């Protein structure tokens, strides 16, 4: 079982930094590439760019809970939440054929 995890492409767990604006302030976020891929997928699903999605998420968190202590951890948790909810969605009848 561990071979599935240990044998993955090192690019997936390599980190990269992206620059974007949160509340009109320029910032950079460093995440593992696997998380960037999931964030890109979430943003595309919602019809927006990844920076727009992240900025919207940040604004909503500010409104609900105030400034997050660790925003990159929140992003990683959001990716996990997305993966959890994606697993629970029933397969479409077309995909099952």
pLDDT at 4: 86
Pick the CATH number of 10-78 from 3.40.50.720, 3.30.530.20, 1.10.3990.20, 3.40.1390.30: 1.10.3990.20
Q: Which two tokens mark 91?
A: 């397969």
> 25-32 and 15-22 as β-strands: parallel, antiparallel, unpaired?
antiparallel
pLDDT at 97: 45
- pTM recorded for the entire structure: 0.84
What is the tens place of the pLDDT at every residue in 11-53? Answer: 999 999 999 998 889 999 999 999 999 999 999 999 999 999 9
Domain ranges of the chain: 10-78
CA neighbours within 13 Å on the CB side: how many for 25?
Answer: 7
Q: Which residue has the tokens 């960037």?
A: 36
């Amino acid at each position: 079982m561990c071979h599935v995890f240990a044998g993955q492409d090192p690019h997936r767990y390599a980190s990269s930094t992206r620059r974007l604006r949160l509340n009109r302030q320029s910032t950079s976020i460093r995440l593992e590439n696997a998380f960037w891929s999931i964030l890109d997928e979430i943003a595309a699903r919602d019809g927006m760019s990844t920076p727009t999605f992240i900025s919207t998420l940040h604004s909503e968190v500010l409104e609900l809970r105030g400034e997050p202590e660790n925003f990159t951890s929140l992003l990683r948790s959001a990716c996990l939440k997305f993966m959890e909810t994606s697993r629970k969605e029933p397969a479409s009848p077309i995909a099952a054929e």
